[in-house]
């Protein structure tokens, strides 16, 4: 009852009492009591009506608050799922289900643009939309296409009568109403989040649209993150598979090289042995041309055997089967032996070799003497090969101190950690053609040469420097080069006096 109505009734009763008094009515008290009772009854009814309305208002507020709390809880749960590292398909299904639950709808769907923007694919669905998962919807003749093209939300009360709707044969008659909002990534619309058929039969409201838009804005970040993580996982799996395959191929290559090297060395040893035997003339005198032919056979056989041995050494290193025979050795003796072994190379070109190792300091190191001599032989051979007639080659060695890695690269150590150690520094300098700065990085790579053309003057496989680098690093040392193009080069290597870091820690 409105307050104005109550006032009007009270005035009527008041004037009725006045009239009774004026007419000489003697039971005035009874009339006044009746009027008072009636007014009291009206007031009580008014208070009860007000209390009922207050209760209804409070119930509606509590219901709205509860609904809002459920919406926030659902969004919070979905946020946890977005950060939970689920796969993309699972996450899409969770989002579609969340869209339906938030809007109290029968079903939800996630749709993304594909085929260069010509179609939209239903990537996930719940309720009646499950039957449409995987279906393609044309962008230019569909409701969802309208949402994406125009970048605007759509609320539809009757989908069957909407001319923009693209019917699906398995969903005809099952979709009545819809709420659709665009999904944006980096400012571009990439799809839509949709909800269909409110369970209470009412149309979707603007609040539903806002809630669905909040869901879409929240979800796209999670989907982008999940897509990036899945792409990263795919790349990791591909890299792992490729690495495994490369390891298998490398192992097969190493085994092939080792086996072939062994098989080739056996007949070569026979060729070299019999050639050397014939040159001794133990089986009879040789004519000049016969001796020249035999010397050519012996020389080329020995060269080929050296190449095979280099390939075998490289395959052993790559397969992890190369072991150093570490003993105290004198670098002076290794230098003297390597200079003697390469005398014939320099003699043919009338080159001068100067050895500067001094006599005062000890050049003893813990190393594999054979491998150190092999490194020196490779450096001296290269120096002679790339130095012209009557050129000069200088071999130097000195004991000093230098910061060295505490772990060998080839033995799995950490090469970035350095410690000052006693070392022997050895260099081989020449007055040859030098090396261009852009070619230096290729020098120590297997089967790589600065001049790889078929017409190059210096022949070889490109293994000498690569093997030298491997041998030096196995000793815990370092190798490098300084060169001025057209003036000459200096190759150097440093060996720790007390041997490789790992071997030193074991003693």
Tell me, what's the pLDDT at 30? 63
**Regarding predicted confidence, which is higher, 285 or 409?**
285
Q: What angle do CA 499, 501, 502 make, to 5 degrees?
A: 110
Helix (H, G, I), strand (E, B) or coil at 456: coil
CA distance 189 to 179: 17
pLDDT-based confidence at residue 489 (cuts at 50, 70, 90): very high
- Please, is 65 exposed, middle or buried when counting C-beta atoms within 10 Å of its C-beta (0-12, 13-18, 19+)? exposed
pLDDT at 288 over 60: yes
Residue 491 vs residue 85, higher pLDDT:
491
pLDDT of 398 > 90? The answer is: yes
Look at residue 505 and tell me whether its pLDDT is greater than 50.
no
Give pLDDT, residue 329.
92
Measured between alpha carbons, how far is 234 from 87 in angstroms, rounded to an integer?
Answer: 12
Q: Compute the distance between CA of residue 503 and CA of residue 368 in angstroms, rounded to an integer.
A: 12
Of 216 and 172, the structure prediction assigns the larger pLDDT to: 216
Percent of the chain clearing pLDDT 90 (strictly above): 22
pLDDT confidence tier of residue 375, bands split at 50, 70 and 90: very high
367 pLDDT more than 90: yes
Give the chain's largest Cα–Cα span. 178
Does domain 324-506 fall under CATH 3.30.565.10? My reply is yes
Q: Which pLDDT belongs to residue 174?
A: 80
Per-residue model confidence (pLDDT) at position 352: 93
Give the model confidence (pLDDT) of 325-364 as tens digits. Answer: 899 999 999 999 999 988 988 988 999 999 998 777 789 9
Evaluate the CA torsion angle 165, 167, 170, 172 in order and state its sign.
positive
Residue 454: predicted pLDDT: 38
Cα–Cα nearest to 493, from 411, 373, 387: 373
3-state secondary structure of 155: strand
Q: What is the pLDDT of residue 330?
A: 93
H helices of 280-421, in order, are: 288-318, 331-341, 343-347, 369-385
Q: Average pLDDT in the 257-272 region?
A: 77
Closest-CA residue to 460 (of 394, 395, 381): 381
Q: State both tokens at 385.
A: 């090969």
Burial of 410 (0-12, 13-18, 19+ CB in 10 A): buried
Mean pLDDT is lowest, of 1-15, 196-210, 287-301, 489-503, for 1-15
170 vs 420 pLDDT, higher one: 420
Band (82; pLDDT cuts 50, 70, 90): low
Residue 178 buriedness (CB in 10 A; 0-12 / 13-18 / 19+): buried
Looking at mean pLDDT, say which of 3-12, 109-118, 298-307 comes out highest. Answer: 109-118
| Alpha-helix runs per DSSP H in 103-205 | 143-150
Q: What is the pLDDT of residue 263?
A: 77
pLDDT band at residue 490 using 50, 70 and 90 as cut-offs: very high
- 316 φ, ψ (degrees, to nearest 5): -65, -40
CB 448 within 8 A of CB 442: yes
147 and 119 in contact (C-beta within 8 Å)?
Answer: no
CA distances from 158 to 162, 166, 179, 324, 381 (A): 7, 13, 11, 84, 90
pLDDT(290) > 60: yes
With 50 as the cut, is the pLDDT of residue 506 above it? no
Distance CA 50, CA 1 (A): 9
Residue 132 has pLDDT above 70, yes or no: yes
Residues in the chain: 507
Whole-structure pTM value: 0.50
Under CATH, what is the fold of the domain 88-232? Beta-Lactamase (3.30.450)
88-89-90 Cα angle (round to 5): 90
Average pLDDT rounded to a whole number, residues 82-111: 80
DSSP string for residues in 30-61: HHHHHHHHHHHHHHHHHHHHHHHHHHHHHHHH
DSSP-assigned states of every residue in 336-364: HHHHHHTHHHHHTTT-EEEEE--SSS--E
CA–CA separation, 187 and 213 (whole Å): 15
User: Which of 21-25, 75-79, 286-290, 335-339 is modeled with the greatest confidence?
Assistant: 335-339
pLDDT tens column, 221-236: 666 665 665 666 677 7
């Amino acid at each position: 009852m409105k307050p104005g109505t109550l006032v009007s009734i009270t005035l009527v009763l008041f004037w009725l009492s006045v009239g009774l008094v004026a007419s000489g009515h003697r039971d005035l008290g009874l009339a006044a009591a009746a009027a008072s009772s009636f007014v009291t009854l009206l007031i009580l009814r008014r208070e009860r009506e007000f209390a009922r309305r207050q209760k209804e208002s409070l119930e509606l507020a509590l219901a709205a608050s509860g609904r809002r709390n459920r919406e926030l809880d659902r969004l919070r749960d979905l946020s946890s799922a977005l950060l939970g590292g689920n796969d993309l398909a699972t996450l899409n299904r969770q989002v579609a289900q969340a869209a339906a639950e938030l809007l109290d709808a029968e079903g939800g769907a996630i749709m993304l643009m594909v085929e260069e923007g010509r179609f939209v694919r239903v990537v996930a669905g719940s309720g009646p939309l499950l039957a449409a998962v995987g279906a393609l919807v044309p962008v230019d003749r569909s409701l969802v296409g309208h949402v994406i093209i125009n970048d605007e939300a759509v609320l539809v009360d009757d989908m069957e009568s909407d001319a923009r709707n693209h019917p699906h044969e398995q969903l005809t008659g099952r979709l009545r109403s819809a709420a659709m909002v665009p999904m944006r990534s980096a400012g571009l619309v990439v799809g839509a989040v949709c909800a269909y058929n409110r369970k209470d039969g009412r149309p979707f409201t603007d609040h539903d649209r806002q809630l669905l838009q909040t869901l879409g804005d929240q979800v796209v970040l999670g989907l982008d993150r999940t897509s990036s993580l899945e792409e990263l996982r795919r790349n990791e799996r591909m890299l792992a598979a490729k690495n495994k395959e490369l390891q298998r191929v490398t192992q097969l290559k190493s085994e092939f090289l080792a086996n072939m090297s062994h098989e080739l060395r056996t007949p070569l040893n026979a060729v070299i042995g019999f050639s050397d035997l014939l040159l001794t003339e133990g089986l009879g005198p040789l004519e000049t041309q016969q001796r020249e032919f035999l010397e050519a056979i012996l020389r080329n056989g020995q060269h080929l055997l050296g190449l095979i041995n280099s390939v075998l050494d490289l395959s052993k290193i790559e397969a992890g089967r190369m072991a150093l025979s570490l003993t105290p050795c004198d670098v002076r003796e290794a230098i003297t032996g390597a200079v003697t072994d390469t005398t014939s190379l320099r003699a043919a070109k009338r080159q001068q070799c100067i050895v500067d190792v001094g006599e005062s300091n000890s050049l003893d190191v813990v190393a594999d003497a054979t491998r150190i001599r092999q490194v020196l032989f490779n450096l001296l051979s290269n120096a002679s090969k790339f130095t012209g007639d009557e050129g000069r080659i200088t071999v130097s060695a000195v004991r000093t101190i230098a910061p060295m890695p505490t772990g060998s690269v080839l033995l799995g150590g950490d090469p970035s950690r350095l410690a000052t150690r006693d070392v022997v520094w050895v260099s081989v300098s020449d007055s040859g053609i030098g090396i261009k700065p852009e070619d230096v990085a290729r020098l120590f790579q297997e089967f790589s040469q600065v001049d790889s053309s078929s017409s190059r003057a210096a022949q070889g496989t490109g293994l000498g420097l690569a093997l030298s680098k491997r041998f030096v690093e196995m000793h815990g040392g370092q190798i490098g080069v300084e060169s001025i193009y057209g003036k000459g080069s200096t190759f150097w290597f440093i060996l720790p006096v007390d041997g490789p870091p790992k071997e030193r820690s074991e003693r």
